[in-house]
Amino acid sequence: MIQFLLVRLSLFAPILLGVLLIGFLLLQVVPSDPAAIRAGPMATAEVIEAIREELGLNRPLPEQFLIYLAKVLQGDLGRSLISNAKVVEELAATLPPTVELMAVCMLWAVPLGIALGTMAAVHRGGLLDRMLMLVSVAGVSMPVFFVGILLIWVFGFWLQVLPTSGRGGPLWTLEGWQSILLPALTLGCIILGPIARVTRTSVIEALGADHVRTARAKGLSWPKVIVRHGLRNALVPVVTLIGLQVGFLLGGAVVTETMFAWPGIGRLAVGAILSNDLPVAQGAIICLSLGFITINLGVDMLYAALDPRIRLG
């Protein structure tokens, strides 16, 4: 297991380097001048040029990237061009709300998706199977902004039982739970359908294996056969999908946090891009990329725990 972990960690550095390079180059093509943004609309050309020299914007792009990379390795992501606050401080303030949102989303969507997929596999071809798959297809087909608008209209304006914007407080308070329900439901609908569909396919395949028939012939109850021999062997592709869906969650979080005025990294990134605040946008990209890489590393570890052949191979 240790060797397997070290091999996966060895891929961490080049992937992160590639993310930093791509993020740096993409933000260089934005038609804006960071020096002019920091100087303000009333600044003279001499002041703007002095700020460009201070920020190193007059240097060649390779040299700018090396300077930027050296600062990132030291934990210095620069300062915001708008607020002049440290980017690290702004990310630290918006990271907990995003983590809370994704945790609550996964908390209800993943178990429910696995349960629905297993139920559909057990009742394969029946009415329940068709109804569950219809719901999952609908969940896959609807875009996240449509789901969010629908939930806002139903629970915010029609029933008026849940707040539709802002973060009411931490999760251990009633206001915190009330404010996070609609964003978490919106995000969870993105991954619920795919998880249910993949679980159904995997469980059907696992239940048709020889060892499952042997366990059934030995007299094990059908629920034990499903859980011990069917579902566990079917979880490897499901875990793969969950890891991939994290990327969609991060993308959906940008839209969801903007819709519900949730003070997370996604909303911070959108605001930074719209205001041409390049240091904050680059910091948000790094933070989101680190989260995606870390979760995929966790998925690899779950592979090894669920199927020893993976780590031995």
51, part of any domain: no
70, part of any domain: no
Compute CA distances 255 → 10, 54, 189, whole Å: 33, 35, 14
249, part of any domain: yes
Shortest CA distance to 27 belongs to which of 258, 251, 284, 249? 284
100, part of any domain: yes
Q: Report how many domains make up the chain.
A: 1
Task: Note the pLDDT of residue 310.
Answer: 55
> Cα 154–155–157 angle (5° rounding)?
70
Task: Note the pLDDT of residue 7.
Answer: 66
Shortest CA distance to 190 belongs to which of 153, 149, 138? 138
**Domain of 156?**
87-312
Taking the CA atoms of residue 240, residue 241, residue 243 and residue 248 in that order, the dihedral angle to the nearest 10 degrees is: 160
229, part of any domain: yes
pLDDT in tens, 231-263: 777 777 787 777 777 766 776 678 888 888 888
Indicate the SS3 state at residue 103.
helix
22, part of any domain: no
Q: What are phi and psi of 192, to 5 degrees?
A: -60, -50
Task: Note the pLDDT of residue 221.
Answer: 67
Pair 287, 89: CB distance under 8 Å: no
Low-confidence ranges of the chain (pLDDT < 50): none
Task: Note the pLDDT of residue 311.
Answer: 52
300, part of any domain: yes
Q: CATH number for the domain including 207?
A: 1.10.3720.10
Q: Which two tokens stand for residue 82?
A: 């708008």
Q: Which two tokens stand for residue 220?
A: 């094990």
Q: Which two tokens stand for residue 207?
A: 């239940």
Beta-ladder partners of 79: 86
Measure the CA–CA gap between 108 and 93, rounded to whole angstroms. 25
Print burial letters for 214-227: b (CB count within 10 Å at least 16), e (below 16).
Answer: ebeeeeeeeeebbe
pTM: 0.77
Task: Note the pLDDT of residue 279.
Answer: 84
251, amino acid identity: G
The one-character DSSP state at 225 is I
228, part of any domain: yes
